[in-house]
Amino acid sequence: MKIENESQLRELYGYPKGRAKDKVLNHLEKHAINFIKTSPFLVMSTSSAKGKQDASPRGGASGFVKVIDANTLIIPDSKGNNRVDSISNIVVTSNIGLLFLIPGINETLRINGSAYLSTDKNYLDLFASENNSPKACIVVSVEESFLHCAKAFMRSKLWDASAQIERDSFPTIGQMLKDQLGSTEAPETREAMEKRYENDL
């Protein structure tokens, strides 16, 4: 049966209760702030005016996202490939969702809210010490903040060394792009790609 409405969905799954229902906060408290300051990686979710979804990884040294106050975060828009998918969506809809990860920790932190792109010097100065300081940053207004349980990471064994594969057993991105684009050029090696990227970190 195709689930077509929320009534059918709730009949199948029921409703959250206890901590799962009560844990959503409308601000950042000490544990959420500590999570963000410890995290070197997040996934940013945005949507276009037509409802097209996008999820983009963002990373840096631990604490690369700055906590301004209990409802405000600043994310550097670090140098990329100029597709600007996420920030284009933010400019149009202001919608944003963030999933913060900490290597070795199975829980994650989820943030939902609104955002805008800024070139405010006071914000950009927060990242002035970086090798490639950003042209702009993303100012996030926190509307929901909550911790997400460890089940997905326990199932996937994401941080377990036994779950890692040999890198050489998996095609490089150069090879994958060559095949996808039908290119006749020799694929870029992983080593060459990483050396090229070093200037943009």
Each domain of the chain, given as residue ranges in start order, spans 6-156, 165-198
Q: What digits encode the pLDDT tens for the residues 76-106?
A: 998 888 899 999 999 999 999 999 999 999 9
Average pLDDT (9-38) is 94
Enclosing H/E stretch for 89: helix 85-93
pLDDT tens, 111-144?
Answer: 999 999 999 999 999 998 877 889 999 999 999 9
Any idea which architecture 6-156 has in CATH?
Roll (2.30)
Q: Report CA-CA distances (Å) from 131 to 56, 61, 73.
A: 21, 12, 21
- DSSP designation for 189: P
Average pLDDT, rounded, for the chain: 94
Check the CA dihedral 149-154-157-162 and report its sign: positive
95-101 and 41-47 strand pairing: antiparallel
Reduced to 3 states (helix: H, G, I; strand: E, B; else coil), residue 43 is strand
User: From edge to edge, which strands make up the β-sheet containing 41-47?
Assistant: 53-59, 41-47, 95-101, 108-118, 137-148, 72-76, 66-69
Judged by DSSP in three states, 158 sits in: coil
pLDDT band at 36 (very low <50, low <70, confident <90, very high): very high
pLDDT at residue 61, rounded to an integer: 94
Instruction: Decide: residue 74, CB within 10 A, 0-12 exposed, 13-18 middle, 19+ buried.
Output: buried
Q: How confident is the model at residue 45 (pLDDT cuts 50, 70, 90)?
A: very high
For residue 91, what pLDDT is reported? Answer: 97
Classified as helix, coil or strand, 111 is strand
